[in-house]
Structures are given as structure tokens and as C-alpha cells.
Amino acid sequence: MRKIKLKNIRADVLRSIGDVFPERLSRMTGENSYFRYVYSLLCDSSSFLEIGYRWGVFVNVCGILKVNSEHVDICDKRLRVKSNKNNKVITTPSIDYLTTCDKRFDLVFQDGSKDYQCRVEEYDLIIRNNLLKSNAIVIVDDLHYKGCKKAFNYAIDKYGFKSRTAKVTDKREKGYKMGFLYLSK
Ligand SMILES: C[S@@+](CC[C@H](N)C(=O)[O-])C[C@H]1O[C@@H](n2cnc3c(N)ncnc32)[C@H](O)[C@@H]1O
């Protein structure tokens, strides 16, 4: 995987974020924001899985970019959004979803539970059920959480993922690290 080339965010995508998060628009779309990383990889993706979709920003973005996607969360009604034809929203724990999933993705955004055991099980199921296309990238959010970092290293050791990290902004003022896992060269 080459260095991730960050893209400019399209005006229609900016408008859709502004509708959901007017007060966070500038921070979310800053130069090195976590959003910009996910967006830039989404632009080159055709099948996306988001674990943890709260508020559905990426459901909207996938709709605009015409990326087929699935989004799973356990959030309460207030934070849910509706499915579109090519963007399916599922309310269930990630483990239940991954256990029965038979789709394959070229981009996965792991942004749900911060718990080590849950993240490890997510990796195990993603691999066991062959959910990654050969060129797939797994974006791993929240490496500043001990459990997320430990699970990220587990995935590298156990499954031979290659990895990168990037310092991103937005969710924490000071910035934090996001990880990227991939199996291809
Ligand atoms: C940080 S939010 C996701 C934000 C979203 N990805 C974005 O960038 O706008 C994390 C979400 O993960 C969900 N979550 C936590 N544990 C989960 C689990 N075991 N299965 C599915 N979703 C989970 C939470 O309900 C929460 O809505």
C-alpha cells in the first residue's frame, strides 16, 4: 500500500456533513482529519463496511460517492439512520453481523467497540469468513485506546497484515493515531 494520498472533499459531500454536524464541519474536514482519510480511501473503493456508524455520516457519503456499503451499529434509535438501495444499515452487535456476513469488501472501517476482545473477534471473523477482497484495506480507528492498539498488533502478528499508522485530527483536539491494515503489497 502506497502512502495514502489525501483528497479534496467534494462540495456535495461537504454539504451533507454540514447538514448532520454543522458545528463540527471544519474540524471534521481539516487537513489531516480522520474523516479525510476515510473519505480518500472511499473514493477508490467499491464495497465498504463500517463497524460503528453512529449518526450515519458515512452512509450519506457512500450514497453520494455511489459506493456499495454496509454499516453496523448497536446505537439507540436517536442515532440510527435508514438504509438506501445500495447502502444497508444494520442494527446489531458487530460480532453477530460478522458471524453471518457473506459479502466481501475492499474497505473496512473498524470504528465500533474499543474493547480488546471485541476487536480481536472482529479480526478473527473477518479472516475466517473471508470478508476481505485481495486488495482490501482495514482502517482501524482509535489507536490511542490500549485495547484497540493491542488488538491492532494482534491482527498484524496473527494474520500477517502489513500496517501503517497516521496521526489524525478531529475526535480529539490533540490528535491521535489511526491504523491501516492490508494483506496485499
Ligand atoms: C465513534 S462511533 C462511530 C462513528 C462513525 N464511524 C463516524 O465516523 O461518524 C462508535 C460507534 O460504535 C458503536 N459500537 C460500539 N460497540 C459496538 C459493537 N459491539 N457492535 C456494533 N457497534 C458498536 C457505538 O454504538 C457507536 O455508535
> Which amino acid makes up residue 149?
K
CA distance 183 to 161: 5
* pLDDT single digits (tens) 158-184: 999 999 999 998 755 678 999 999 997
Give CA angle at 71 (146, 78), nearest 5°: 90
For the CA of 54, the nearest atom of ligand 1: 27
* pLDDT single digits (tens) 31-45: 899 999 999 999 999
- CATH dotted code for 31-182: 3.40.50.150
Gap from CA of 94 to ligand 1 centroid (Å): 9
Domain boundaries defined on the chain: 31-182
For the CA of 113, the nearest atom of ligand 1: 16
* pLDDT single digits (tens) 8-34: 999 999 998 888 888 888 888 888 999
Residue 71: which of 101, 39, 114, 43 has the closest Cα?
A: 101
Confidence of residue 91 (pLDDT cuts 50, 70, 90): very high
> Please, where are the H alpha helices in 66-145?
94-100, 116-128
* pLDDT single digits (tens) 101-134: 999 999 999 999 999 999 999 999 999 999 999 9
E strand intervals along 41-131: 47-51, 68-73, 87-91, 105-110
Q: What local confidence, expressed as pLDDT, does residue 125 receive?
A: 98
> Which amino acid makes up residue 74?
I
Say if ligand 1 is within 6 A of residue 90 CB: no
